[in-house]
Each structure stands twice: as structure tokens, then as C-alpha cells.
């Protein structure tokens, strides 16, 4: 016969069969009171762009540091994909953003 703690621990464990595309499983971790899979991003997917060409659609002509800086400053939400892409452009090209 199983005791109460065994049922409680079994109820608080949520393990999916596999991780989403681009991630692989490396053990488990605890989130709150629940044990879940620890899905880590694959090495080859780390440097792939989230939405390729996002700056080209937002800026007319050639993308320069000043255009990327202006596009980033116009964004109200600094965490959106456009602002992040402008920041990555500035970091890559050593612009002062």
C-alpha cells in the first residue's frame, strides 16, 4: 500500500514526453511546487534569428546605425522583437545605442 506522501509527490510531478523543437531535455527542475523537464536550447539554434528580415521591413533603404538607433527609440515596448533586433544590430556593428 502506498502512503499519502507518495501520492502527493506523484501528483506534483509534470513530465512531458519531449521538449519543443530546437530544445533537448537535460534532467528535471522544480518550478514552484512542481517538478518539470529542464529543456535546454540546442547549440545550433542559439544564433538563429528570431524573425529574419525584421529590420529590413521596418527601415527603408540600407540599415545604418543611426536608423537602427532611431527605430529602437521609437518603440514603446523595449522588449518587442523590433527593439531587440535593433539592439542586436547596434551591438554587432559597435554602434552607440
What per-residue confidence (pLDDT) applies to 6? 56
* Chain centre distance of CA 54: 16
**Residue 78, domain extent:** 54-92
In the chain, the number of structural domains is 2
Same domain, 88 and 66: yes
Mean pLDDT to the nearest integer, 42-65: 75
Give the residue, 7 or 67, on which the prediction is more confident. Answer: 67
Model-level pTM?
A: 0.46
Mean pLDDT to the nearest integer, 69-93: 86
What is the full DSSP assignment across 12-80? TB---SSPPTTEEEEEEEEETTEEEEEEEE-GGGTTS-SSTTHHHHHSSSS--HHHHHHHHHH-SSTTS
What per-residue confidence (pLDDT) applies to 3? 60
Predicted confidence (pLDDT) at residue 66 exceeds the cutoff of 80: yes
Mean pLDDT to the nearest integer, 13-30: 80
Same domain, 8 and 40: yes
Amino acid at each position: 500500500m502506498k502512503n499519502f506522501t507518495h501520492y502527493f509527490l506523484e501528483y506534483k510531478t509534470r513530465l512531458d514526453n519531449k521538449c519543443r523543437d530546437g530544445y533537448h531535455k537535460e534532467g528535471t527542475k522544480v518550478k514552484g511546487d512542481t517538478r518539470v523537464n529542464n529543456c535546454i536550447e540546442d547549440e545550433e539554434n542559439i544564433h538563429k534569428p528570431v524573425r529574419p528580415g525584421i529590420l529590413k521591413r521596418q527601415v527603408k533603404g540600407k540599415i545604418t546605425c543611426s536608423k537602427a538607433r532611431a527605430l529602437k527609440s521609437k518603440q514603446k515596448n523595449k522588449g518587442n522583437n523590433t527593439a531587440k533586433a535593433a539592439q542586436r544590430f547596434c551591438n554587432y556593428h559597435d554602434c552607440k545605442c
